[in-house]
Amino acid sequence: MSFQFENLPPEQLQLQVPVYILKGQTSVPRNGLLAIFNDKFNVQYYEVYNGHFKAMIHLGPGVNSLVLQHVDGIWMNGQPAFPKDAPSVYAESKVKINYSPIQDDRLVPKIHLCVLVARDSPHLFDCPQAKMFEGNGLDVAIKKLRMGGRIMQAFTQDDMYLEHFGSRSFRFIEEHTRTTISYFEEQRGVKRDEIKIHVIPCNRTVAEIRNADYAQQNSKAKKAGELFSIAMDSLVKYGGPFSDQSTNSIPAMAAVMILDAHWDKSQNLILGHAALGGGSDRIKLAIFGSHGLHSWPMNLESLHRAFTDTTPISTNEVANDCNQCGTAWECFTLTLGAFMHEIGHLLGCPHQRNGVMLRDYLTMNRKFLPKEAYCQRTNRSEWGPVPTSQEPGWHRLDKIRFLYHPAFAVPSDFYVDSFKPRAFQVNQGMKLPQDMISEISVVTIDKDTFDLVAPSGLYLVEFITGEFPDLHYEFLPVFLQGQGCQGGVRISISSVEAQLKTKKPINLRILARGFIQKDISDIRKLLAELSTPVMVQGGSLALTKSEPYGGSNGRDVMVSFPDKNIKGFQVTHGLALDGIRVCFEDNSYVDFGNFKHHHTDFWLQKDEVVTGFNVRCGAWVDGIQILTNRKTSPMLGGGGGGVRQFLIPQGRKLQGLYGKMESWCISVGFLYG
């Protein structure tokens, strides 16, 4: 008798994480156990419900030869139990699954999984009496975090596969050590590549970490974001991968659990806990408390129990987070899922209309088991089989972000230069080379139409009228039958309004490769400002403005050009742009900003025309680069800020400059017509 698989990967597909959720059903529609014998791992057992199964399989490096048997048996007290005689085998199948992760660490960034401990920490986490047999010390926390990390990876990989984006998931930093992923292998002292758990010392005391003013769920907290700052500071002091030297070119990613979180019933607060994700240019960070760690499994053998344990949670012992942790398994899915939600933030995901980035992780058990246990939150009895259609997952907009995130790379990506250009592979793909355009520009065509320009390649444009995107344009890779990333996209506001059937203000969120994001509030208002004609030459000529590039302080400056051919530019600069003299063929000129006698000259040939500019800027204009139809000037100025690009629309020409000035140039924009 045979098996029917829902998602058996082809043998040539190289999985990138050592766990895989295999789903399907056997030819015998009855309950029992699924035994999986693996030549690279010890035997594992999973529940079969009416012939349906979902099995999170642990894999060894290379091709894993698996024998699957649907056998007679039940789960009893969290363990597989069999008849006294040899169990009957109802169905059997043999399959192969290939786990061959990318070996070159220069190509794929990974998340550091960490546990933060106070300087006087007792190294214990909250635990009810019913779970004290497992222990609640730091060593147990490390085992549970490792297992939690693998569950998150399997969940995400399955969801990306369902979206037809490939078997992609984020990775964690690993170390070759004595395994804890399986109780039986741990007892035998087997060594494997396991998730490395950094134990991060904190210079704050337990009392300081448990300050009620730091508790995120305290509506009266005076410093609700302080735990995030404490975690960030502790990582920097820890050094190593989080040191300034290490993060100078490659930002680090860290997911930190605060071990000394604690439920205080007298205050009705979880102290030492905050669910936050975000970070800086150097460290992308997610933090979460340990208050639900007691409900997490320590190893694969305890996974089934963790997802089905209906033991009531008592607030006399531990927290009932958001009043949605009435049973042990609900505590597990909420706390692990919420931690994964914060990891979503560090990976660049905002809140979404549904999915993990809302709160759909409450039912993440449905990805791993063919039936669901009694749920106190919904008062729903045990039910099954659970179809894939009722599993939670990441929102499609999150999965598009993951597709273009270097942490989710698969080997075949590096053979498609249009998807992963070689220039993007430096810095593990986490930071563009300094000389690459690192911003998205808006170029006005008319009062209804504009271009979004990003040389690194636009892949997502979201249109938002409320809290979440109402419409989006996606540009998937060609190998997924998409158009590929776009250097420029032309958008009509009236067309978008017609699609949305609204006249509400429309906000934009635009994403391009290289972690480039631009947010625009009320695009029609911005378009009206940029498309309002700038009247020059006594009102006889109407020009259009580009966006200003740089800061917002300083005095306004604007110059328009006479109707003459440009001969060249004389640019005054040091470590910032001071001013620009625009020279014409009759030897006349106009000055923008502070022209000085030390300058760099850039002369044009006959029939050479200006096509655009690259502007290096931040709080001011660091430098400017002139683009023509024949050549490009050096970057004239300093090396600070990010690089933005303005390309003059086809059929238009440069007619002037505007911006803000102080002792040097604060911002510069371009007039064209």
The single residue of 342, 372, 391, 462 carrying the catalytic annotation is: 342
* Separation of alpha carbons 266 and 248, rounded Å: 45
Amino acid 133 reads F
Three-state SS for 198?
strand
Which residue, 254, 236, 243, 232, is CA-closest to 345? 254
For residue 582, how many C-alpha atoms fall within 13 Å in the half-sphere facing its CB? 21
| DSSP track, 84-99 | SSPPPEEEEEEEEEEE
Question: E strand or H helix at 57, and its extent?
Answer: strand 52-58
> Do residues 633 and 626 touch, judged by C-beta distance below 8 A?
yes
Q: Is the peptide bond before 385 cis (omega within 30 degrees of 0)?
A: yes
Greatest alpha-carbon span in the chain: 104
Amino acid 144 reads K
> Do residues 445 and 490 touch, judged by C-beta distance below 8 A?
yes
Supply 397's token pair.
Answer: 């907009």
Q: In 248-299, which residue ranges form alpha helices assigned H by DSSP?
A: none
Supply 256's token pair.
Answer: 């930190």
Q: Is the dihedral of CA 321, 325, 326, 331 positive or negative?
A: negative
Q: What b/e sequence results for 209-234 when a residue is b if at least 16 CB atoms lie within 10 Å of its CB, and e otherwise? A: bbbeebbbbbeebeebebbbebbbeb
Which residue, 325, 373, 326, 342, is CA-closest to 273? 342
What are φ and ψ of residue 233, in 5° steps?
A: -60, -40
Residue 554's CB is within 10 A of a number of other CB atoms, namely 17
> Do residues 541 and 535 touch, judged by C-beta distance below 8 A?
yes
Q: At what angle do helices 523-531 and 493-500 cross, to 10 degrees?
A: 160
> Do residues 291 and 263 touch, judged by C-beta distance below 8 A?
yes
Q: Is the dihedral of CA 210, 216, 217, 221 positive or negative?
A: positive
The label of the residue with tokens 């930071």 reads: 431
Residue 467's CB is within 10 A of a number of other CB atoms, namely 10
* Separation of alpha carbons 42 and 75, rounded Å: 18
> Do residues 340 and 255 touch, judged by C-beta distance below 8 A?
no
Query: 226 catalytic, yes or no?
Result: no
Residue 109's CB is within 10 A of a number of other CB atoms, namely 24
* Separation of alpha carbons 251 and 344, rounded Å: 16
Q: What is the set of active-site residues?
A: 342
